[in-house]
Structure 1
Amino acid sequence: MPFPQITHHGAVNGVTGSCHELHADAANSYLIDCGLFQGADTANGGRAGQGSLDIEFPLNTVRALIATHVHIDHVGRIPYLLAAGFKGPILCSEPSAKLLPIVLEDAFKLGVSRDQKKVERYIKLIEQRIIALPYNTWFTLQGSSEIICRVRLQRAGHILGSAYVEFDLQYPKTGEKKRVVFSGDLGAPHAPLLPAPKPPHRVDILVIESTYGDHNHEDRRTRRQRLEKVIEQALLDKGTVLIPAFSIGRTQELLYELEEIIHTKPSRAAAPVGARSLAKKILRRVTDETNWPELPIILDSPLASRFTAAYRELQPFWNQEAIKRVQSGRRPLGFEQLITVDSHGDHLRMVQYLARTARPAIVIAGNGMCSSGRIVNYLKAMLGDSRHNVLFVGYQAAGTPGRAIQSYGPAGGYVDIDGERIDIKAGIDSIGGYSAHADHEGLVKFVTGMRQRPSHIRIVHGESKAKQALAARLAAIYQDKQQPLQLEIPQ
């Protein structure tokens, strides 16, 4: 059997459960991500999914796990990987090394145990396994007379710490060399906080995501203006704007953009908050008209609050625009109107208060696809009330409540949440330009921007239509240039 070989254990039939195995030779392989499945997505054999998270592939040759970034659909099955007997290191970028224990602590509490001593032992084990790699620096994974394997991480621009993975494989006995790249999730230009990804110089084999392989985003450079316009229109209904968002990445980008909107608006003095109740905090900032400097921005997610604090500590990895804002004295992720809700009791009181009074406010809560988390309670309380609005700013996977609300809500349909059928009367809107994923053109440019383009491309992490569209475009480009291409869409 010729090497290298690639096996896909997830993100084949959809966009979640990312897990790919690079077989460098018969005795050595490396995992790239090991994520949770969400919605209708399953593993390649159709067995592992939301209800079955066991690792179903052998680990005897797996020497290391490389995490492209810390979203749960890329790292959420790590507890099950360790339970299955994986003994190797976990490699990731320096920012991801700080964020990963937070993600895995939450995943462990949700899926394994909430016993604090067990949690602490588990996180200590994770931290001992992590090897933090600087960007653009080669790290040797394997060196012998049979094979030399090096790995390098490059900025992917998706979330803080995200990376695409370059493998440099050398086979001393034959003199053969192969450069294999796994894209992970690629970001797009003009994203808040993060620099855009730059394609690698040379690739032989490319495994590339295709989340938006059939779609181009709205103009990302004008998205802040669109966000402002959509929110102001929604607030005319005199209710709350709910924004489902994952705890890491999207939440911080939204806070960054909302701070910029507030910064550009005329302000007037407000009384100090003191030790008032959450309801009174809101009341003091609400007027009959949309007044951005007094509009409460409610972050209802303890996990998102922890990530936001970590983001603030990782400012050296922000882009230059964001760093300049901080240097000018602004607090892009900790501005005055931001109200954080931590305890479950405060969360329930906030839901009841906003549902009952319909006071204008913006609520950011997880998770981003409405399949779990605190956003579910808001939706159950508010979807049936036309005064409220839901604004989607991220991808909604097939089979998730978010996809159902996004698809059927504008036509006055319904959604089933926790076994309860809810008629959707709230306003539903979407802003595509806020996706943290590269769009069709961005994915194509990632490939065409390489000095030496890959002769072998495998397209994963997308729904069938998206994968087919990206494949057709790449095939046409290669044919036009009369370049050889082995193009695969794994099934």
Structure 2
Amino acid sequence: MSETFPRIDHHGAVQGVTGSCHQLWLTEHDSLLIDCGMFQGAELSNAGAGAGKLEIEFDLASVRALIATHVHIDHVGRLPWLIAAGFKGPVHCTEPSAMLMPAVLEDAFMLGVKRDRALAERFLSHVEPMLNGHAYREWVPVIERDDLVCRVRFRQAGHILGSAWVEVDIRYPASGAKHRIVFSGDLGAPHAPLLPPPKPAWQADVVVLESTYGDRQHEDRRTRRDRLQKALESALSDGGTVLIPAFSIGRTQELLYEIEAIISTAKKRKKRGPGKALDWENLPIILDAPLATRFTTLYRELKPWWDKEALRRVREGHKPLGFEQLLTVDSHDKHMAMVNRLAQTRQPAVVITSNGMCSAGRIVNYLKAMLHDPRHNVLFVGYQARGTPGRDIQEHGPRGGWVELDGERYDIRAGIETLGGYSAHADQKGLVRFVTGMRHWPKQVRLVHGDDGAKQRLGGLLRDAARRKGHDMEVVIPEH
């Protein structure tokens, strides 16, 4: 860009896929933060970009507002540290995100700051007045001065409920200069359960684009549901448990939606004649994650933001997030009892539990009790970041390797399978379309939130597309 402002500093999601935090400088003394997320896995110890520490390492004097694209912890989890560092500005997000965020921040506080419920509640009482929920497509004024006008708009991203990509409109009245900058946040896959798909912006000067799956394609919705059903039927045939590590918000609710559809179809087939060996109608689906249960309840309360298909299924009498076989486990004692029972009996069961990368949470207890037994299976349905136990199990499990959990080695004899199509992120085709589908292409695309290979592959495709269309578009992969 020829002018000094606006410009962008990246404080996270540069050397990997977590810790999203981008500072948009509007003037020498004014900036916005777009997301402020936690780092996870190996990215906790990588050098640069603030990785390896939760403290805020950049000056907040210029930050006028935090713009939150969605409530996943790798996008908003450092808000407690942001406030501790002195941030007092507003937090702008969508209406559903404003409803979901307190639960996310409470969990982030309890895990990362101090496991003190009273202190967490005091923190939330401080944060909640800062939250400003807005309707999709509504322009929100952030700064209105004689020398600077800045407004933002949230658009459907289809990643989790309330997720958005963000348009930032900037005007400098004195010079008449105008700029439109788009931050993709995390873009969802097309035809994802519950959510409408993302659509490209009309125009932008700069696009800051995630690249998580910039080097691969997803399966279509029908294929992945069929694969999910076949994987579960095969895994459960020997009386074992299928463990599905899933993050509490987004992935868990999509899985429940798909499993309810599989069960519903199986019931219809049973009425028409003999069904498969697996008794879907009586198979327990166990949600063993208190936070996920809380979010699932919130998802049910946020039906107005579901897509048309999901609302149609509700009108037809389906209960996508609250069907008969869905069992929830609340207390730690009941959780440990469930782990022991499923490890020792031959009752087929599906357990959805957190966290999604097996680095903490109740999934760790299940893995310790079951990884050594070939009767059980671990089914991965989401991205596993480098340095997480999930990535180690995914890579070494099929070769009979081991994984370290809480400082001890555990042999992997359980079956390991990955369903790549069950991603909440757009694939390579969707990411390219987000840029090339614009009526007026950007002058610059900045690739973040992806491994090096994914960014390089996606960058090459975008450059090729620009050359074919005769567009003067720069693709940048920031190093910090």
2-structure distance, mates of 1:315, 1:304: 17
Counterpart of 1:429 in structure 2 is 417
Counterpart of 1:136 in structure 2 is 137
Tell me if structure 2 keeps the 8 A contact 1:38–1:49: no
Counterpart of 2:96 in structure 1 is 95
**Shift, 1:125, TM fit:** 1.3
- The match for 2:406 among 389, 406, 418 is 418
1-structure distance, mates of 2:391, 2:373: 19
Counterpart of 1:283 in structure 2 is none
Counterpart of 1:351 in structure 2 is 339
**Shift, 1:116, TM fit:** 3.0
Counterpart of 2:7 in structure 1 is 5
Counterpart of 1:392 in structure 2 is 380
**Count of residues in correspondence between the two structures:** 473
Matched to 1:120, the amino acid is E
Matches within 5 A, 1:57-68: 57-68=58-69
Counterpart of 1:473 in structure 2 is 461
Tell me if structure 2 keeps the 8 A contact 1:13–1:43: no
Tell me if structure 2 keeps the 8 A contact 1:13–1:42: no
Q: Aligned with 2:267: secondary structure?
A: coil
Gaps of 5+ in 2: 271-275
**Shift, 1:164, TM fit:** 0.4
Q: Aligned with 1:208: secondary structure?
A: strand
Counterpart of 1:285 in structure 2 is none
Superposed CA offset, 1:278-334 (max 9, x none): xxxxxxxxxx94100000000000000000000000001000010011112221100
Counterpart of 2:273 in structure 1 is none
- The match for 1:482 among 466, 470, 477 is 470
2-structure distance, mates of 1:252, 1:461: 23
2-structure distance, mates of 1:404, 1:311: 32
Counterpart of 1:276 in structure 2 is none
2-structure distance, mates of 1:203, 1:114: 43
1-structure distance, mates of 2:365, 2:298: 26
1-structure distance, mates of 2:109, 2:123: 8
**Shift, 1:485, TM fit:** 1.4
Q: Aligned with 2:43: secondary structure?
A: coil
Matched to 2:382, the amino acid is G
1:69 maps onto 2:57 in alignment: no
2-structure distance, mates of 1:27, 1:202: 27
Counterpart of 1:221 in structure 2 is 222
Q: Aligned with 1:40: secondary structure?
A: helix
Matches within 5 A, 1:286-325: 289-325=277-313
165-174 or 218-227, which deviates more: 218-227
2-structure distance, mates of 1:267, 1:136: 41
**Shift, 1:155, TM fit:** 0.5
Q: Aligned with 2:129: secondary structure?
A: helix
Superposed CA offset, 1:330-375 (max 9, x none): 2110000000000000000100111111421000000000010100
Matched to 2:5, the amino acid is F
Counterpart of 1:81 in structure 2 is 82
Tell me if structure 2 keeps the 8 A contact 1:169–1:179: yes
TM-score, normalised to structure 2, is 0.96
Alpha-carbon distance change, 44 to 426 in structure 1, aligned in 2, over 3 angstroms: closer
Tell me if structure 1 keeps the 8 A contact 2:159–2:187: yes
Matches within 5 A, 1:185-264: 185-264=186-265
Q: Aligned with 1:69: secondary structure?
A: coil
**Shift, 1:386, TM fit:** 0.3
Q: Aligned with 1:422: secondary structure?
A: strand
Counterpart of 2:437 in structure 1 is 449
**Shift, 1:46, TM fit:** 2.7
Counterpart of 2:150 in structure 1 is 149
2-structure distance, mates of 1:18, 1:237: 42
Superposed CA offset, 1:428-473 (max 9, x none): 0011111000000000001111000101110000000000000000
**Shift, 1:49, TM fit:** 3.5
1:369 maps onto 2:370 in alignment: no
Matched to 1:198, the amino acid is K
- Identical aligned residues as a percent: 62
Matched to 1:121, the amino acid is R
Tell me if structure 2 keeps the 8 A contact 1:163–1:184: yes
Alpha-carbon distance change, 76 to 348 in structure 1, aligned in 2, over 3 angstroms: same
Counterpart of 1:329 in structure 2 is 317
1-structure distance, mates of 2:377, 2:31: 48
C-alpha RMSD of matched pairs (Å)? 1.7
Tell me if structure 1 keeps the 8 A contact 2:403–2:412: yes
Matched to 1:235, the amino acid is L
1-structure distance, mates of 2:450, 2:441: 22
2-structure distance, mates of 1:379, 1:444: 37
Matches within 5 A, 1:274-285: none
1-structure distance, mates of 2:346, 2:90: 50
Superposed CA offset, 1:30-78 (max 9, x none): 001111100011588537445x210000000000001100111111100
Tell me if structure 2 keeps the 8 A contact 1:10–1:42: no
Q: Aligned with 1:362: secondary structure?
A: strand
Superposed CA offset, 1:134-184 (max 9, x none): 000101101112110010000100000000010000011111100000000
Tell me if structure 2 keeps the 8 A contact 1:8–1:44: no
2-structure distance, mates of 1:169, 1:453: 18
Tell me if structure 2 keeps the 8 A contact 1:358–1:388: no
108-117 or 224-233, which deviates more: 108-117
Superposed CA offset, 1:210-233 (max 9, x none): 000011112233211111011001
Tell me if structure 2 keeps the 8 A contact 1:17–1:73: yes
- The match for 1:19 among 21, 41, 61 is 21
1:31 maps onto 2:33 in alignment: yes
1:184 maps onto 2:156 in alignment: no
**Shift, 1:27, TM fit:** 1.2
Counterpart of 1:277 in structure 2 is none
Superposed CA offset, 1:71-101 (max 9, x none): 1111110000000000101111000000000
Counterpart of 1:440 in structure 2 is 428
Q: Aligned with 1:334: secondary structure?
A: coil
Tell me if structure 1 keeps the 8 A contact 2:359–2:390: yes
**Shift, 1:8, TM fit:** 0.3
1-structure distance, mates of 2:385, 2:63: 30
Matched to 2:153, the amino acid is R
Tell me if structure 2 keeps the 8 A contact 1:205–1:454: yes
2-structure distance, mates of 1:456, 1:268: 52
Q: Please identify runs of 4+ aligned residues in structure 1 that moved more than 3 A.
A: 42-45, 47-50
